[in-house]
Structure 1
Amino acid sequence: MIKVIIDRTVAQGLEKHYDHCLKKSASLMDTATGFLGSETLKDINNPSHRVTVSLWDNVQCWSQWLQSDARRELHSQIDQLLDHEERVVVLSR
């Protein structure tokens, strides 16, 4: 099992658009092979800073989602709403 941490800073004023895109992403991830769940958190001191933690069976399942057409399409929409490129960290025990 692995955890994937995605760290993003949303451009000011675009948080609602980001949240909408993230909901789309979550519904698609639910059908992804090996996806076990996710949680998105807002920074208390900076509501534009968001961190998503997702849980996957293994790195192959995550890679399959990462390279999927659905994720690429959603990411292209999300990317336009960010102040800078997202940071992704994949963790295991």
Structure 2
Amino acid sequence: MSIEVMIKRKIMQGPQARSLVPLILQLRALATYQPGYISGRTLYNVENPEDCLVVSEWQSLEHWYSWMKSDKRAEIQSKVDELTGEQTVYSIYAPIVEKG
């Protein structure tokens, strides 16, 4: 069963954004090479541009956890959290009805 992971971050405008965006893009680029990765999108809230949402689709929860626990991802993610001063929030969703 495929899953979608909602990854929420606050990205302040200015120097912080200039430092964060390359890290977020690096995470996304690395994810595309992971087994089970299907797709991803990076969005911002048009009413509050500091709110960033990454939607990442995976073939299974196990594939996501494998990527989530990888050393390389953790290394980059710790830099992201350090720059934002907040923990990134992850929510995992599964479809109510599978695509058919």
TM-score, structure 2 length as denominator? 0.86
Q: In the alignment, is residue 10 of structure 1 matched against residue 31 of structure 2?
A: no
Q: Distance in 1 between matches of 2:70 and 2:28?
A: 14
Gaps of 5+ in 2: 96-100
TM-score, structure 1 length as denominator? 0.92
The partner residue of 1:49 within 46, 51, 55 is 51
Q: Distance in 1 between matches of 2:92 and 2:27?
A: 18
Per the alignment, in what secondary structure is the counterpart of residue 79 of structure 1? helix
Per the alignment, in what secondary structure is the counterpart of residue 76 of structure 2? helix
- Specify the code of the residue in structure 2 equivalent to 1:86: T
Contact preservation (8 Å) 1:10, 1:49: yes
Aligned length: 93
Q: Percent identity?
A: 26
Q: In the alignment, is residue 22 of structure 1 matched against residue 24 of structure 2?
A: yes
Cα displacement (A) at 1:92: 0.4
Contact preservation (8 Å) 1:15, 1:48: no
Q: Distance in 2 between matches of 1:70 and 1:84?
A: 20
Cα displacement (A) at 1:11: 3.7
Runs of 4+ deviating beyond 3 Å: none
Per the alignment, in what secondary structure is the counterpart of residue 4 of structure 2? strand
